[in-house]
Amino acid sequence: MFHYCFQTMGNSETDTQSTVRAPFAPWDRRELPGLFDVDDTARRVGNYKWTEMKLFEALGGWIATVPELDIKVRLGTHCYHHSWHADIWHKRLPELREMKPERLTVPANEAMERFIEAMTEPEAPELTIEKLVGVYRVLIPRFIAAYTYHRNGASEITDAPTIRFINFILQDEFDDWRDGEMMLQSLITTADHVRRASEHQAKLEAIMVEAGGITGPGSIGTSVSTSTEGGV
């Protein structure tokens, strides 16, 4: 009876078409494996959170110390950006089985702590170049590198949330890097400015190299040579 009703109501071709489809559409090339397991990810995320916190604190603290009005205002905006990143990571940690986020909100190592101390050391009003160099020519490029490596290596299926958050955060990092670079180029107008910027950058880069990056050694993977035939 039921089958009869079906046959008399409609076109027989559509009534019998199968709804079976592959769970991954032909254009969906996402793979399962990722470079980071849950604990690895939580550790990195904790390092990101710690560093973003230090960054937003530094930017917020510097606002009152910088006489250039446009830079003063821009630091306020960027302070918020990095606080928002810290908040995202703070919320991600319990999702990675870390119920006490403060436990993993730590620097990657002692050298990262020294890096932040050195980066935040300039305070005098005439040191705007040094303040901006530390952030926009050393730390934020390192963030961009670490986030890019993490995003590209994370499992697109098991760790979609981290990838999504990194994509949003990376947009801010690129925008802030550009703002910072433009401010620096407008400030660095003499050979002495160039010298100051280069010396401060070199000093901070050396500490960052010691640290191995924002999440320590392996922040952007290792550069061990691989087979030219590629791998799985």
Partner 1 sequence: MRQFFPVEDLARDERFVQTNMAERMKDARTTVDIDAATAKSRASSNRLTPDRHDASDGARSLMHGIMVGEIQALEGAGRTAHDFAAGDGSGDTIPFELKLDMARQAWDEARHVEISVKLSDWMGTELGQFAENTVLFEAACSNDPILRLAGVNRALEGLAIDVFTQMKEFGNLAGDPYLEFCEDWMLADEVTHVKMGSDWLRKVTANDPDRRKKALEFQQVVDKLFSFGGARGETDESPIGLARRFRELAGFSDDEVDTISKMDSEALEERKEAIRAFHAQADAQPTPA
The binding site for partner 1 (CB under 8 A) comprises: 53, 56-69, 72-77, 79-80, 82-84, 86-87, 90, 102, 120-123, 125
Measured from the CB atom, the residue of 128 and 219 that comes closer to partner 1 is: 128
Whether the Cβ atoms of residue 136 and residue 180 lie closer than 8 Å to each other: yes
Measured from the CB atom, the residue of 44 and 74 that comes closer to partner 1 is: 74
Residues 6+ apart with CB under 8 A from 148: 170, 220
Measured from the CB atom, the residue of 15 and 123 that comes closer to partner 1 is: 123
Measured from the CB atom, the residue of 78 and 151 that comes closer to partner 1 is: 78
Measured from the CB atom, the residue of 10 and 76 that comes closer to partner 1 is: 76
Whether the Cβ atoms of residue 70 and residue 18 lie closer than 8 Å to each other: no
AA identity, residue 64: A
Q: How many CA atoms lie within 13 A of 102 on its CB side?
A: 0
